Amino acid sequence: MGDKDGKSSPSKKNKKGKDMDELKKEVPITEHKMSIEECCRKFNTDIVQGLTNAKAAEFLIRDGPNCLTPPPTTPEWIKFCRQLFGGFSILLWTGAILCFLAYAIQAATEDEPAGDNLYLGIVLSVVVVVTGCFSYFQEAKSSKIMESFKNMVPQQALVIREGEKMTINAEEVVAGDLVEVKGGDRIPADLRVVSAHGCKVDNSSLTGESEPQSRSPDCTHDNPLETRNVAFFSTNCVEGTARGIVVCTGDRTVMGRIATLTSGLESGKTPIAKEIEHFIHLITGVAVFLGITFFILAVCLGYTWLEAVIFLIGIIVANVPEGLLATVTVCLTLTAKRMAKKNCLVKNLEAVETLGSTSTICSDKTGTLTQNRMTVAHMWFDNQIHEADTTEDQSGASFDKTSASWAALARVAALCNRAVFKAGQDQLPILKRDTAGDASESALLKCIELSCGSVKQIREKNKKVAEIPFNSTNKYQLSVHETEDPNDNRYLLVMKGAPERILDRCTTIIIQGKEQPMDEEMKESFQNAYMELGGLGERVLGFCHLLMPEDQYPKGFAFDCDDVNFTTESLCFVGLMSMIDPPRAAVPDAVGKCRSAGIKVIMVTGDHPITAKAIAKGVGIISEGNETVEDIASRLNIPVSQVNPRDAKACVIHGTDLKELSQDQMDDILRNHTEIVFARTSPQQKLIIVEGCQRLGAIVAVTGDGVNDSPALKKADIGVAMGISGSDVSKQAADMILLDDNFASIVTGVEEGRLIFDNLKKSIAYTLTSNIPEITPFLLFIIVNIPLPLGTITILCIDLGTDMVPAISLAYEAAESDIMKRQPRNPTRDKLVNERLISIAYGQIGMIQALGGFFSYFVILAENGFLPSILVGIRLNWDDRACNDLEDSYGQQWTYEQRKIVEFTCHTAFFVSIVVVQWADVIVCKTRRNSVFQQGMKNKILIFGLFEETALAAFLSYTPGMDVALRMFPLKPSWWFCAVPYSVLIFVYDEIRKLLIRRNPGGKWLSLSLCITFRPESCHEICICNFTHKSLIDTKTRKLSNASLFSSPTLSSYRLGGKGDILLSDGYRLYSYPYIFHLFLPPFIPSLARHVFRCPTP
Amino acid sequence: MAKDAEKSTWKDFIWNSRTREFCGRTGSSWGLILLFYLVFYIFLAGMFCLTMYVMLQTLDDYKPTWQDRLGTPGMMIRPRGQAMEISYNTTNTETWDMYIKTLDNFLSPYNNSLQAEKNEECTPDQYFIQADSGDVKNNPKRSCQFNRTFLEKCSGLDDHTYGYQAGKPCIIIKLNRVIGMLPGKDGQAPFVTCGAKKEDSDKIGEVEYYPENGTFNLMYYPYYGKKAQVNYSQPLVAIKFLNITLNEDINIECRIISNNIPPGSVRDKFAGKVSFKLRINTKG
């Protein structure tokens, strides 16, 4: 549909493309840099009076209502049609149409046309429609349409027009309106703040910052997303009040642009859809080739043109695997169900496999990799850094809690803290409880509650008498409390705040519970600790206290907090505490698993580079020992510009730098760094990163939870949203939802995806194999004029009956080797169905099966009197209704009906033979490399399938009435065994084939040996030559010298393009990035797996 | 740019001159594949021949393994006509000439001279059983004479047109050969009876049967197969329509009456019966 539109109006498409490019650019808001007056002038508004009603009405007409254009929803019937006519179905429809065409030709030319083609056409149509309905309902069930953007629009807004405050519908807000918001409101449009009182907004859905940001009228940053004086449409005001001028409304707001961008993005075809397309091409190719060949043969043999056309159609249709559509759908559904059980909800059935093909994961940080909850990570007291336990289940390390300094620090942290637990959560573990208060205070609260017991009791014992809340000029917060000791009438002053400010106010420091003067040495060690914790990306707070002298501040002293009448100097420094949003426990392991599965994990976050890098190191996205350019520079003590960027495998890229990069530079970074962190990225940049990866041929998965992730989620090959913390928008844009928000579930997804890809391959190989014994009877019928050995009905009984359950049961097959230890498949090379699979299925196993079927066919005819010798050329008489005395080899004479019964018995026997040879085939298809004896027969569904197909075959053959209903006749018991030798042959043949493959993993007949040489003059040229196993092992022990590499004689050379890799032979794959070559060896030589060769730079 | 690359890869795929590859493989690679398939298929053919050979060894030369589909022998007429429809014009020789030829050809082996030369006269009204004694085959088996003259007016000896010219056509009916079949018990020979279907019953007129009563004499049974009983003469019954209504389609059904032959299946219109359409035109 979209294509058609595009063709008919190219200008429209161009315009659309331009719009999308425009949307991908950064937010064009500039008002934050203007003064308030300039702003007012720009919008013809007044800072006190607001707009006039007339102006507002005029603007409303000019700009339209302040609401988001809902994303164009596809009507249900189009979705249904997509299921009905998409991908595989089109093959079956073509088959059905050809059948009807053939029947029409027959009906027009023959008196009594055989109904076969008509029935086949009908059955094909029914199969498509039924499967289409099935997958439609399956998807409708998992993807409920959430019109979430609509829900995000605030209902009411308080505006000032002509000096009057009025509450209007948020849709009527126009640019230039003066708007007031207070805590709890949703921001009605993008606002330039003109005045604010303790206003904080929650921007997490837009930028990924986990904590509320304060708003004020001052411009603090050039970037509109970071400056303090802009509040964004549909974010929440958490506390305080603010007044602002509306600068953008509706789709022009930052959120609106993201929404438009997201809904405008076309996500490409899923990898499995591409594979199925490729498969259809192959099958169609084979079908048309066979059809044309036999059409020509038929014409040469003297058939009429019409007959030949009917044969042509018949052969093409016979190649259509009728049951495969249903099999694939069921297999995918089963996997989707299995994944849902493991907390991966798949919205689009085809996306089930995508994670398995994924080669790059772009993960958001906040909420995906981290817990999205500030937690105390480190403390510094007694001149020592102590590590706090940040794990979700408190399984981490603990620290020495006996020190008196810790007691003092804990007391300060507990008292100088306004956060409280919300009521009624006593049963919950402390970390799970909800708190009221800001993120860092809550972190402190939980930390103290965990290590020292009830904070509430501490506070009760130390009654608060005065308090100065945090503000941005002081950068500290203090409170004054009574002491625990009722006899002690002194007051306790506790203070926390920015460490350097706190240190400035201190003259002493507590060490091991004793006050000591703050000397230079102490100050330096404080600085070191502060730098170190800051370097970990943690937010550091300093704590100090003072027991106020009783003579100056006697009991009942009136502390005045507005006009401070007490000392806030010469305090006693207690310690530092630092907080971070810690990584989820399961993430490092999951990242490691992705790594070993050859998946590149990139972090893309809106957060600060230092925090991002710290988390990246924490979870292993930047692995131990890998350095960024900056790290190398600081280690070697040289300027960053002198470091060769090729030496650094890791890199951290800031959003502002990303803006400056050209496409080539971007590709270069993505290609040459294995460990990348993007920090401070905007939603548009996330999208650009995803597109960059896709340009390099990667299949990209994006995980995220915020609105800011949604364009990237949509663009990615598979978008993974978080089920609990994720915004509705992100869930809607995603293809998969992690119900437990656990990044580790992605590993499950990858595993299941890879498994289903392997197993689909097996299912398809199994199903395709029986195509040959189904087609060859018809071909021989045409060419050598024998009675038809297998009829349409029996073919359908195989494809839609006996083959179904075994084919589906292969979806339950366990993996052959550790699928998480191999590289992701290369979409250009590792196809679902390739020539090799067709060659084995059609050319080898299929042929054996056909012989098995023909053997039982000949047995039955011979035992009934028609020896093979008289069968050739008998067809014309055989199918002549008027010939009722056809003579057999023994001289007996047969009526038409009598010999037809024998023929149908042959069909039944052929059918049963296919079932018998398919026994062996399903066992053979279980594994692609391992022997069945290694793999075992643990797949219970498969065993059930074997019995089921046999029982079904017996049922079809022996049930009374089947002779009339399906023209199938009872078989003599001995006829069941005709195909058994062929069944055994299939098994033995394939076991030998697999044995050879295992022995010669390279797929060569001779003992395999490979080596790689690099031509120094061009890194794009690599040579493959012989070398022995021994030198491979040498490579492993790093003893293989360059000399031996280069001196080997070359066999053949391949020129490589900029991307992709080349397949040396079966399991050996050579990745070619211009400067680094990876040689991946198959998993059964684990000790040799994965080596990275670096090409000498030219 | 991307398109160019694609084009060149497509061309490269067919014939890559640099690596000398055709469809992604070198000549030697293709050669190996062809060799493999050649060897593989030769092996398969060998295996198939072996199993076929073993199967053929299990067969009896004289009698098929199964005869259960031939419980009710089929019946057939000569001439067969066009899809069991015999229609001709008495005034137009060409329309019935082919029937005459068919019958002449069909009956020529039954010439008395030939029969006398090859076959012997048997005792009528009893089965001509030539049992084997154990493993020793009593071969070749002899056959009984069925002389053309048994068909009397329909023998074509006196009336060379078999009555076709006169509008009193002869139709020859035969019972399909089935090895070992004994078509009647208690010495009662099976016989053919013909009648018209429902509405045509008054149009069929008088019908004459040759040999008398339209019986198949028991001495022609059992049949021992074409290998053992080379000169077997299948017994025939001729019917002659003496005054059939002309210029009209008449549906006629002949069936075998026997106390031993089970009625055939409903679907099989030729088991133990034969139906055909007869139309004799007289006007030009």
Which residue in chain A has the smallest CA separation from B231?
A891
- A to B CB pairs, distance under 8 Å: 115
What type of residue is A784?
A: V
What type of residue is A844?
A: Q
Which residue in chain B has the smallest CA separation from A884?
B76
- Answer yes or no: is pLDDT of A1073 > 70: no
- Answer yes or no: is pLDDT of A199 > 80: yes
> A760 to chain B nearest CA, in Å?
25
Instruction: Output A29 or A1014, whichever has higher pLDDT.
Output: A29
- Confirm if B169 and B280 have CB atoms less than 8 A apart: yes
Q: Can you name the residues that pair with A1055 across neighbouring β-strands? A: A1021
Cα angle, residue A755 at apex, residues A752 and A758 outer, rounded to 5°:
150
Spell out which residues of chain B touch residue A863, defining contact as CB-CB under 8 Å. 59, 64-66
Q: Do B265 and A897 touch (CB under 8 A)?
A: yes
> Mean of the pLDDT values across residues A319-324?
84
> Mean of the pLDDT values across residues A612-640?
85
Whole-angstrom Cα distance, residue A346 to residue B193?
A: 75
What pLDDT is recorded for position A1018? 34
Q: How confident is the model at residue A702 (pLDDT cuts 50, 70, 90)?
A: very high
A1006 at interface of B, judged by CB pairs closer than 8 A: no
> B91 to chain A nearest CA, in Å?
27
Which residue in chain A has the smallest CA separation from B55?
A859
**Segment A1033-1064, tens digit of pLDDT:** 233 333 332 222 322 222 223 333 333 333 33
Spell out which residues of chain A touch residue B102, defining contact as CB-CB under 8 Å. none
Spell out which residues of chain A touch residue B270, defining contact as CB-CB under 8 Å. 884, 895-897
DSSP state of A711: H
- Answer yes or no: is pLDDT of A1068 > 70: no
Residue A489: both structure tokens together = 């009438």
- Answer yes or no: is pLDDT of B202 > 90: no
Mutation target to probe the B interface, by most B beta carbons within 10 A, among A829, A845, A898 is A898
Question: What kind and span of H or E run contains A194?
Answer: strand A190-202
Which residue in chain A has the smallest CA separation from B173?
A885
A664 at interface of B, judged by CB pairs closer than 8 A: no
> Mean of the pLDDT values across residues A642-647?
77
Nearest alpha carbon to residue B52 among A863, A638, A1026, A121: A863
Spell out which residues of chain B touch residue A862, defining contact as CB-CB under 8 Å. 55-56, 59, 65
Q: How confident is the model at residue A781 (pLDDT cuts 50, 70, 90)?
A: very high
Residue B17: both structure tokens together = 């001159």
- Answer yes or no: is pLDDT of B159 > 90: no
Q: Do A851 and B48 touch (CB under 8 A)?
A: yes
Q: Do B73 and A893 touch (CB under 8 A)?
A: yes
Whole-angstrom Cα distance, residue A676 to residue A670?
A: 8
Spell out which residues of chain B touch residue A890, defining contact as CB-CB under 8 Å. 62-64, 179, 225-227
Whole-angstrom Cα distance, residue A543 to residue A495?
A: 6
B99 contact partners, CB below 8 Å, separation of at least 6: B79, B81, B86, B88, B162, B164, B169
A1022 at interface of B, judged by CB pairs closer than 8 A: no
Spell out which residues of chain A touch residue B83, defining contact as CB-CB under 8 Å. 881-882
Nearest alpha carbon to residue A877 among B113, B243, B80, B31: B80
Q: How confident is the model at residue A1020 (pLDDT cuts 50, 70, 90)?
A: very low
What pLDDT is recorded for position A1001? 61
What pLDDT is recorded for position B49? 96
- Neighbouring C-alpha atoms within 13 Å toward the C-beta of A498: 9
> Mean of the pLDDT values across residues B47-54?
96
What pLDDT is recorded for position B264? 80
Spell out which residues of chain A touch residue B174, defining contact as CB-CB under 8 Å. 885
Catalytic residues of A, which ones? 364
What pLDDT is recorded for position A16? 53
What pLDDT is recorded for position A1015? 35
A818 at interface of B, judged by CB pairs closer than 8 A: no
> Mean of the pLDDT values across residues B126-147?
86
What pLDDT is recorded for position A208? 66
**Segment A469-492, tens digit of pLDDT:** 877 677 888 889 988 888 888 888
**Segment A969-997, tens digit of pLDDT:** 999 999 999 999 999 999 999 999 999 88
Q: Do B51 and A1055 touch (CB under 8 A)?
A: no
A855 at interface of B, judged by CB pairs closer than 8 A: yes
Instruction: Output A165 or A983, whichever has higher pLDDT.
Output: A983
Among the partner residues A848, A858, A893, nearest to B52 by beta-carbon distance = A858
- Residues constituting chain A: 1098
> Mean of the pLDDT values across residues A743-758?
90
Whole-angstrom Cα distance, residue B239 to residue B195?
A: 11
- Answer yes or no: is pLDDT of A3 > 60: no
A972 at interface of B, judged by CB pairs closer than 8 A: yes
Among the partner residues A844, A855, A1052, nearest to B19 by beta-carbon distance = A1052
pTM over 0.90: no
Residue B190: both structure tokens together = 């099976």
Q: How confident is the model at residue A1086 (pLDDT cuts 50, 70, 90)?
A: very low
Which residue in chain B has the smallest CA separation from A859?
B55
**Segment A810-826, tens digit of pLDDT:** 999 998 877 888 888 88
Q: Strand, coil or helix: what is A955?
A: helix
Among the partner residues A854, A864, A895, nearest to B176 by beta-carbon distance = A895
What proportion of chain A, given as a percentage, has pLDDT over 90?
Answer: 24
Mutation target to probe the A interface, by most A beta carbons within 10 A, among B69, B221, B224 is B69
> B247 to chain A nearest CA, in Å?
24
> B61 to chain A nearest CA, in Å?
8
A933 at interface of B, judged by CB pairs closer than 8 A: no
**Segment A45-73, tens digit of pLDDT:** 888 888 888 888 888 888 888 887 776 67
- Answer yes or no: is pLDDT of A149 > 80: no
Q: Do B226 and A890 touch (CB under 8 A)?
A: yes
> A1058 to chain B nearest CA, in Å?
12
> Mean of the pLDDT values across residues B260-281?
88
What pLDDT is recorded for position A144? 52
Instruction: Output A627 or A1074, whichever has higher pLDDT.
Output: A627
Spell out which residues of chain B touch residue A864, defining contact as CB-CB under 8 Å. 64-67, 69
**Dmax over Cα atoms in chain B, in whole Å?**
97
> B46 to chain A nearest CA, in Å?
11
- Computed over every residue of chain A, the mean pLDDT equals 81
Q: Are strands A600-604 and A675-679 parallel, antiparallel or unpaired?
A: parallel
Nearest alpha carbon to residue A531 among A500, A563, A564, A565: A500
What pLDDT is recorded for position A143? 56
- Answer yes or no: is pLDDT of A619 > 70: yes
What pLDDT is recorded for position B34? 93
What pLDDT is recorded for position A1069? 36
Which residue in chain A has the smallest CA separation from B50?
A855
Instruction: Output A439 or A869, whichever has higher pLDDT.
Output: A869
Q: Do B66 and A898 touch (CB under 8 A)?
A: no
**Segment A325-381, tens digit of pLDDT:** 889 889 998 998 888 888 888 888 888 899 999 999 999 887 788 887 888 888 898
What pLDDT is recorded for position A26? 66
What pLDDT is recorded for position A48? 83
**Which long-range contacts link A158-167 to residues 24+ away (Cβ below 8 Å)?**
A159/A50, A160/A48, A160/A49, A160/A50, A160/A243, A161/A49, A161/A50, A161/A51, A161/A52, A161/A53, A161/A56, A162/A49, A162/A50, A162/A51, A162/A52, A162/A53, A163/A48, A163/A49, A163/A50
- Answer yes or no: is pLDDT of B79 > 50: yes
- Answer yes or no: is pLDDT of B213 > 70: yes
What proportion of chain B, given as a percentage, has pLDDT over 90?
Answer: 50
- Confirm if A715 and A265 have CB atoms less than 8 A apart: yes
> B187 to chain A nearest CA, in Å?
23
Q: Count the helices and strands in chain B (H runs, E runs).
A: 5, 11
Q: Do B84 and A893 touch (CB under 8 A)?
A: no
Instruction: Output A390 or A253, whichever has higher pLDDT.
Output: A253
Task: Map tokens 């019109």 to a residue.
Answer: A147
Which residue in chain A has the smallest CA separation from B60?
A863
Q: How confident is the model at residue B4 (pLDDT cuts 50, 70, 90)?
A: very low
DSSP per residue, A884-953:
--EE-TTS-EE-HHHHHHHHHHHHHHHHHHHHHHHHHHHHHHT-SSS-HHHH-S--HHHHHHHHHHHHHH
A551 contact partners, CB below 8 Å, separation of at least 6: none
A885 at interface of B, judged by CB pairs closer than 8 A: yes
